[in-house]
Amino acid sequence: MHVLIIDDHTLFRVGLQGLLERRGISVCAVGNGEDGVRIAWESPPDVVLLDLRMPGENGIAVLQRLHDAGFRRPVAMLTTSTDERDLVSSLRCGAKGYLLKDMDPDALVAALHAIIAGKTVVTPELTTVLAKVVQRGGADQQKYPMLIDDLTPRELEILRHLAEGESNKIIARRLGICDGTVKLHVKAILRKLGLSSRVEAAVLAAQRGLDLKP
């Protein structure tokens, strides 16, 4: 995996580069959008990690430039912002991920692999925010196969926790089961509902909230 980091905070940028490289990931890191756009075209990475708040040209503007110019490698925002407007703007401009800078390093690496594999990843803490945005927008619920009745009681229970944006570890701890068991249940939930990510599952759960109450 080759990652391009665009972030104006030197200490964070250098620290993240070292962290990823120690995990066997190739990294190029730059401090501004202009250099980032140039390098993205000269040596296309597998994924771009883009800071949202930068002086001059901010992350959204850089993302828009790349998208408008036809750049097709995935770009993920890596930020401290939990603001709904930033999340929505990023996804509307084509971001394939919205990740927080305080997330666990292993979770970040897993998110990068998922994004490269074609998934859109939103940090679990913000899935409820995304769900509320979808609800207010009057999203077409027919987008999702309504197969809730096919879920087992345990799968319904885990789906409720997904709607709260909880990670597998937290769900496992709350239910007194192991992480691997939660992972298997999540896979089954996605398969039965015809979904591709836990974000979609969380949105569906929030939309069907009344039906999912125990």
Q: Over the stretch 1-25, which tens digit does the pLDDT of each residue have?
A: 999 999 999 999 999 999 999 999 9
Contact between 196 and 190 under an 8 Å Cβ cutoff? The reply is: yes
Residue 146 above 60 pLDDT?
Answer: no
Going along the chain from its start, the domains and CATH numbers come out as 2-122 (3.40.50.2300), 132-212 (1.10.10.10)
pLDDT tens string 151-187: 888 998 898 888 777 788 889 999 999 989 999 999 8
**CA angle, corner 170, sides to 165 and 173, nearest 5?**
150
13 Cα distance to chain centroid:
20
Return the biggest CA–CA distance within the chain.
Answer: 54
pLDDT tens string 93-104: 888 899 999 988
Sheet holding 47-50, edge to edge: 26-30, 2-6, 47-50, 75-79, 97-100, 121-122
Contact between 50 and 77 under an 8 Å Cβ cutoff? The reply is: yes
Residue 139 above 50 pLDDT?
Answer: no
Residue 118 above 70 pLDDT?
Answer: yes
pLDDT at 28: 97
* Of the candidates 84, 80, 114, 83, the residue with the CA atom closest to the CA atom of residue 96: 114
pLDDT tens string 64-110: 889 888 898 999 999 999 888 888 888 888 888 999 999 889 999 99
Phi, psi of 86 (to 5 degrees): -65, -40
Residue 210 above 50 pLDDT?
Answer: no
What pTM did the predictor assign? 0.66
Q: Locate all alpha helices (DSSP H) within the chain, ordered by sequence.
A: 10-21, 33-42, 59-68, 84-92, 105-116, 127-136, 153-163, 168-175, 179-193, 198-207, 209-212
Task: Give the position of tokens 């599952």.
Answer: 201
Encode burial over 94-111: b for 16+ CB neighbours within 10 A, e otherwise: ebbbbbbbebeeebbbeb
pLDDT at 145: 44
Rounded percentage of the chain residues whose pLDDT exceeds 70 = 86
